[in-house]
């Protein structure tokens, strides 16, 4: 299987890349930090192509197409890029950078993968979004809002693909807190998951072609309950 992973330079994207290499997949790995991608390349030089891609730039879709060409095609697109910070003082840069990366960047790259699979007639798009999209989170307004955007965007693409008779599958992966660079030093998070353990569940969900997968089971129980909390109660929660 030929898999493109955007955001493979660290965290869950990197762990998923290692697991897929163990399974014999051919990978196209992308992110901004080329040196980190070279670590993956060294694991299987003849099965890994690398590309320096910043999802916030306009040439990112062209770079994605060039990577797909170098791989001779793509069967699975796995999107793991993202940034997230707490922003209790609502610093504008943090809010806007998050929208640019998780909103604009996501739309740019998932959209290009969708158009590629539309031309081909079939394919599979999987993306790590988050449980943070379940409700608006006061400590991280733009992070939670962009994650909700990602959840809804995938739902919309699925409906559009079906209406167009395209055989494109979608997997929305929603982890709870995972111990990666994204969270480092931000806060002492509860029920933290290990990235390699989360990656194993991600690969399993992708192979099973799950539509939505919350990781792990504890968060799968908790998140529907958050959704049920009435607005007057949610408004006064001190997170
Ligand atoms: N950690 C958690 O608790 C948690 C929970 C739920 C969901 N998530 C989501 O999981 C995804 C992966 O994050 P992670 O936790 O594995 O953290 P991570 O180790 O920080 O990984 C983030 C990845 O995104 C890439 N990235 C960031 N900005 C980019 C840009 N402008 N262009 C291209 N790539 C970019 C990074 O690569 P470069 O810096 O090299 O570009 C890196 O490979 C994110 O979408 C995150 O929101 C994380």
- The 10s digit of each residue's pLDDT in 118-128 is 999 999 999 99
For atom 7 of ligand 1, the residue with the nearest CA is: 130
pLDDT at 82: 98
pLDDT at 225: 93
- Which of 81, 101, 189 most suits a substitution to test ligand 1, by most atoms within 8 Å of the C-beta? 81
188-205 b/e (C-beta count within 10 Å ≥ 16 → b):
eeeeebebeebbebbbeb
For atom 19 of ligand 1, the residue with the nearest CA is: 11
If pLDDT is split at 50, 70 and 90, which confidence band does 184 have? Answer: confident
pLDDT at 212: 98
If pLDDT is split at 50, 70 and 90, which confidence band does 189 have? Answer: confident
If pLDDT is split at 50, 70 and 90, which confidence band does 169 have? Answer: very high
- Model confidence over 38-50: pLDDT tens digits? 999 999 999 999 9
Of the candidates 51, 81, 47, the one whose C-alpha atom is nearest the C-alpha of residue 66 is 51
For atom 26 of ligand 1, the residue with the nearest CA is: 81
> pLDDT exceeding 70 applies to what percent of the chain?
99
Instruction: Name beta bridge partners: 175.
Output: 215
Q: How many angstroms separate the alpha carbon of residue 83 from the centre of ligand 1?
A: 5
- Which of 40, 53, 180 most suits a substitution to test ligand 1, by most atoms within 8 Å of the C-beta? 180
If pLDDT is split at 50, 70 and 90, which confidence band does 185 have? Answer: low
Q: Is 7 in the pocket of ligand 1 (CB under 6 A)?
A: yes
Q: Is 148 in the pocket of ligand 1 (CB under 6 A)?
A: no
Angle between helices 106-120 and 60-71 (to 10 degrees): 40
- Model confidence over 201-223: pLDDT tens digits? 999 999 999 999 999 999 999 99
pLDDT at 153: 98
pLDDT at 213: 98
For atom 12 of ligand 1, the residue with the nearest CA is: 80
If pLDDT is split at 50, 70 and 90, which confidence band does 186 have? Answer: low
Give the C-alpha separation, 31 to 37, whole Å: 8
**Which pair of structure tokens corresponds to residue 149?**
């955007």
Chain-wide mean pLDDT for the chain? Answer: 96
For atom 44 of ligand 1, the residue with the nearest CA is: 82
Mean pLDDT confidence for 12-16: 98
pLDDT at 188: 72
For residue 2, pLDDT over 80 is answered with yes
For residue 33, the ligand 1 atom closest to its alpha carbon is 40
For residue 234, pLDDT over 70 is answered with yes
Q: Is 53 in the pocket of ligand 1 (CB under 6 A)?
A: yes
Give the C-alpha separation, 112 to 64, whole Å: 8
pTM: 0.97
Q: How many angstroms separate the alpha carbon of residue 45 from the centre of ligand 1?
A: 24
> pLDDT exceeding 90 applies to what percent of the chain?
95
The domain defined by 2-235 folds into Rossmann fold (3.40.50)
pLDDT at 187: 67
Q: How many angstroms separate the alpha carbon of residue 195 from the centre of ligand 1?
A: 12
């Amino acid at each position: 299987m030929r898999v493109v992973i955007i955001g493979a330079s660290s965290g869950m994207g990197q762990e998923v890349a290692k697991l897929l290499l163990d399974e014999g997949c051919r990978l196209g790995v992308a992110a901004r930090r080329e040196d980190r991608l070279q670590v993956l390349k060294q694991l299987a030089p003849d099965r890994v192509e690398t590309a320096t891609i910043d999802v916030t730039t306009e040439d990112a879709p062209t770079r994605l197409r060039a990577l797909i060409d170098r791989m001779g095609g793509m069967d699975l697109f796995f999107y793991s890029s993202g940034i997230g910070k707490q922003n209790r003082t609502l610093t504008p840069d943090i809010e806007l950078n998050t929208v640019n990366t998780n909103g604009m960047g996501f739309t740019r790259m998932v959209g290009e993968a969708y158009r590629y699979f539309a031309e081909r007639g079939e394919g599979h798009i999987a993306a790590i979004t988050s449980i943070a999209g379940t409700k608006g989170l006061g400590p991280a307004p733009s992070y939670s809002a962009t994650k909700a955007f990602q959840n809804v965007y995938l739902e919309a693409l699925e409906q559009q693909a079906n209406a167009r008779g395209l055989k494109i599958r979608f997997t929305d992966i929603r982890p709870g807190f995972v111990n990666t660079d994204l969270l480092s030093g931000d806060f002492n998070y509860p029920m933290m998951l290990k990235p390699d353990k989360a990656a194993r569940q991600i690969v399993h969900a992708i192979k099973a072609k799950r539509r939505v997968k919350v990781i792990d089971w504890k968060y799968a129980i908790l998140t529907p309950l958050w959704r049920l909390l009435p607005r007057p109660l949610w408004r006064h929660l001190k997170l």
